[in-house]
Chains A and B, each alone.
Chain A
Amino acid sequence: MSRALGRTPYFVVAGGLAVIFLFPLLWNAWASVSGQPGTAQESGHGLGNYRTLLHYDAGLWRYLLNSTVVSALTVALTLGVSLLGGYAFARFDFPGKNLLFLLTLAILMVPYATLLIPLYVLLGRLHLQNSLVGLSLVLAMFQLPFATFMMRISFEAVPRELEESAFVDGCGTAGALRRVLLPAVRPGLITVGLFAFLAAWNDFIAPLILISDSEKAPLPLAVANLRQQSMGAVDYGATEAGVVVLAVPCLLLFLLLQRHYMRGFMSGALKG
């Protein structure tokens, strides 16, 4: 009895904070289907705001496609490069190895915005300006410090005997990587992939600077533009619908992979 009473303040504080943390999310979901004057959903409840979003400028499907392409390319590039790089850093000795690893980590030390201005100029020279491929390459580069570090740790945790037995069976290093090591480092790959997806899907400033054509805008940029373009008459409803479309994949992925993500995060933080 006294134990239960002792817990009451804890539940009041933790519960009250939980309400504050959940309220904006729940309110936004509710507001996106609620009626507001001056929006496509004048009164009652329904999907009017989502219909506005569907037909806004280049259309919701185009923006979703852009975001999907950028996220998929970024995840694929990050996974590919950090898988090979992590393997090289964990298992091989070659000239310049430590310098390259330090340079990769140094990306963390340089502010995002500082690099975007020269990248804007550089992508122009590479004929990659205003392109989703160029944007993905930049986003993948910013993921490299975390991804390479994580993959190097993952490979180092695999016992060497495992790949040596593959060599005995006649595999080369590539064969050992594909057949034996790949399954062993899968947890690391999932964590790296989730981070890369969230970063690419949510990024705002890189597309703001590197993408000039509204046809090629990823979703966050498009929703922000939707709000800014309508001078005077602001469509709050469509913006709220846009936030829902942006948030749902992130929240679902997080809840699905939560156990794994927390574990990967905690072990990474412990070792780091």
Chain B
Amino acid sequence: MQGLSPRATRGLAYATPTAVLVTVFFLLPLLLVAQMSLSDWPLLAGDRGLNTPENYTDATDSTLFWPAVRFTLLYTVIVTVVLLGLALLLALLVQESRPAAGFFRTVYFLPGALGLASASLLFWGLYSPTTGPLSSVLERLGLVDDPVSFLGTPTSALLSTVFLVVWKFAGFYMLILLVGLQRIPHELYEAARMDGASRAQIFRRITLPLLRPSIALTLLLCVTGSLLAFDQFFILTKGGPDNSTVTVVQLIYREAFQRLNLGTAAALSIIVLAVLLLLNALQFRGLRRADES
């Protein structure tokens, strides 16, 4: 290395493993997926000619494309509202000053240590109409007459999956919101109490506005994660019943490894990537604005 100081050369040397990993396993695949989306790309060797824009039109023409987009958006909205609402309730419940807060915090977080695939397999057993306990509990309580098929109808399959995801992630988002709660100075609460503000007023006027950056961060993570949902539906519903729970990422997986059409799958990937980058950019702007206020 000529023209570089010995110290710069050293720094470059220490950064080399990072550079190699980023180039080979991130940049190269990114270029490759762009190239694949423009070419005919069967799973096994074969014609690799240009296939533009057929990959893209094939991707959006698929009968499952728009239903998958609609379903993914619906799922994202429901999960985000329920998950963030519950996470906020949990964070407020287990703030530092409460008795046994540490114990409850650990309990709520515990499902977060499991993998999503493990949690999905667990709930698959829990929801089973034959061996799962939920159905018989509901029957014994007299709420239902027949065994409940938690994954049997499109609506129940969606809600059952939402319940699993909320159970798995609520503790994790609770942690992020707790960090935000701890940043709010105690004096503000005391001053508000001196002025005779009610609990609801304190929550609406102090807690919520000052928690906005943390809420924005959880929102970003939750929306991105939900739009890319895969494991839970692959394991719990397999996209059923009647393809009613096929998400966009599942569609990519099916196109690539069941219909063996990597070009179309790559085109779908590029579409998802573009939408997410746009969405993240928008949310980052919101995040920054929330930070400034």
Contacts and interface: CB of A to CB of B under 8 A. Distances in A.
Interface string A121-156: 110000000000000011011001000100000000
B126 A111 contact: no
A13 B13 CA distance: 55
Given A21-B171, A114-B33, A117-B33, A247 B18 contact: no
A250 B115 contact: yes
B179 A80 contact: no
A162 interface: no
Contact of A137 (B21, B41, B99, B171): B21
Nearest to A28: B122
Contacts of B111: 21, 24-25
A250 B10 CA distance: 38
A200 B111 CA distance: 17
A258 B112 CA distance: 12
Interface residues of B, number: 86
B110 A22 contact: yes
Given A88-B18, A104-B18, A113 B252 contact: yes
B114 A247 contact: yes
A258 B103 CA distance: 12
A269 B176 contact: yes
A157 interface: no
Contacts of A111: 224, 228, 249, 269, 272-273, 276
Contacts of A120: 256
A242 B235 CA distance: 14
B124 to A, nearest CB: 7
Contact of B269 (A114, A202, A250, A270): A114
Interface string B118-137: 10011111101011010000
A53 B41 CA distance: 39
B75 interface: no
A203 B106 contact: no
B167 interface: yes
A118 B257 CA distance: 13
A31 B16 CA distance: 50
B90 interface: yes
Interface stretch (A55-63, A92-100, A182-190): A92-100
Interface string A64-93: 000000000000000011101101110111
A25 B119 CA distance: 9
Given A28-B122, A94-B4, A240-B125, A110 B273 contact: yes
Interface in B246-293: 249, 252-253, 256-257, 262, 265-266, 269-270, 272-273, 276-277, 280
Contacts of B182: 266
Interface string A247-272: 10011011100100010011001100
Contact residues on A (Cβ < 8 Å of other chain), bracket: 35 or more
Interface string B69-99: 0000000000000000000001001100011
B110 A144 contact: no
B272 A85 contact: no
Contacts of A121: 32, 36, 41, 262
Interface stretch (B22-30, B57-65, B151-159, B201-209): B22-30
A137 B11 contact: no
A168 interface: no
A109 interface: yes
A85 B32 contact: no
Contacts of A258: 106
Interface string A173-212: 1000000000000000000000000100111110011000
B186 interface: no
Given A28-B125, A103-B26, A224-B121, A118 B11 contact: no
Contacts of B33: 114-115, 117-118
Nearest to B8: A94
Contacts of B14: 84-85, 87-88, 92, 173
Nearest to B33: A118
Interface in B1-55: 4, 7-19, 21-22, 24-30, 32-33, 36, 41
B17 A80 contact: yes
Nearest to B128: A236
15 contacts: A18-B107, A24-B123, A31-B131, A82-B18, A107-B26, A111-B276, A114-B33, A119-B25, A198-B115, A208-B234, A220-B115, A227-B124, A246-B114, A266-B179, A266-B182
Interface of B: 4, 7-19, 21-22, 24-30, 32-33, 36, 41, 90, 93-94, 98-100, 104, 106-111, 113-118, 121-126, 128, 130-131, 133, 167, 170-171, 175-176, 178-179, 182-183, 224, 228, 230-231, 234-235, 249, 252-253, 256-257, 262, 265-266, 269-270, 272-273, 276-277, 280
Given A18-B107, A97-B11, 14 more contacts: A13-B93, A25-B111, A28-B122, A31-B125, A31-B133, A95-B12, A117-B36, A117-B252, A202-B117, A209-B257, A220-B115, A223-B118, A250-B114, A250-B118
9 closest cross-chain pairs (CB), A and B: A202-B115, A92-B11, A204-B117, A88-B14, A85-B18, A118-B29, A118-B32, A88-B15, A254-B113
